């Protein structure tokens, strides 16, 4: 288990990879508004946990496990954001800001329960498949319904 701060680094690296194709320390530092030494420290912690492959001055590659965890972090944010925006009717900017803060303190069980509630209220699907944030099977269903 890694810290919430390291999860944020991992999430940022995943997003940068999707946007740019490759990720460097400078990219992460700029995106997270932090120093390169902070990114390097996080990278070595993530590398020790087998979540990234990285050699000094090289590009950053997420391992399969790292990519799965980054997706999970993004999914947790999405669930909290949907709840705040579409269930509590907060404006988009407030919901985004609050979701970032809230999702880091919720357990997987709480996120799973919140997801089931949000999807029931928004009539996205019935989630009878035993939705679990640690599984990938429901994410495509959720996104497909939202995009319709």
- Give the DSSP letter string of 16-39: HHHHHSSB-HHHHHHHHT--HHHH
For residue 144, the model assigns a pLDDT of 45
Question: What is the predicted pLDDT for the residue at 111?
Answer: 86
- Range from 22-31, 60-69, 109-118, 132-141 carrying the lowest mean pLDDT: 132-141
Domain ranges of the chain: 4-62, 68-147
Q: What is the pLDDT of residues 54-110, one digit of tens each?
A: 988 889 999 999 999 998 888 888 888 888 988 899 999 999 899 988 887 888 889
Of 1.10.10.10, 2.40.50.140, 1.10.8.50, 2.60.40.420, the CATH number of 4-62 is 1.10.10.10
Task: State residue 46's pLDDT score.
Answer: 96
Q: In whole angstroms, what is the distance from residue 101 CA to residue 81 CA?
A: 10
> What average pLDDT score do residues 100-128 get?
77
User: H-type helices in 21-138, by residue range?
Assistant: 25-32, 36-48, 64-82, 92-103, 108-121
DSSP 8-state symbol, 58 = S
């Amino acid at each position: 288990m890694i810290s919430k701060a390291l999860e944020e680094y991992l999430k940022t690296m995943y997003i940068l990879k999707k946007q740019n194709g490759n990720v460097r320390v400078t990219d992460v530092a700029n995106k997270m508004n932090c120093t390169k030494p902070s990114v390097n420290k996080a990278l070595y912690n993530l590398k020790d946990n087998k979540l990234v492959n990285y050699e000094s001055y090289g590009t950053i590659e997420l391992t399969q496990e790292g990519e799965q965890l980054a997706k999970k972090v993004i999914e947790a944010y999405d669930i909290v954001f949907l709840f705040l925006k579409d269930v509590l009717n907060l404006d988009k900017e407030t919901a985004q800001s609050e979701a970032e803060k809230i999702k880091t303190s919720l357990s997987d069980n709480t996120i799973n329960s919140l997801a089931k509630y949000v999807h029931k209220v928004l009539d996205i699907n019935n989630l009878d498949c035993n939705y679990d944030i640690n599984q990938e099977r429901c994410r495509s269903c959720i996104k497909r319904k939202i995009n319709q």
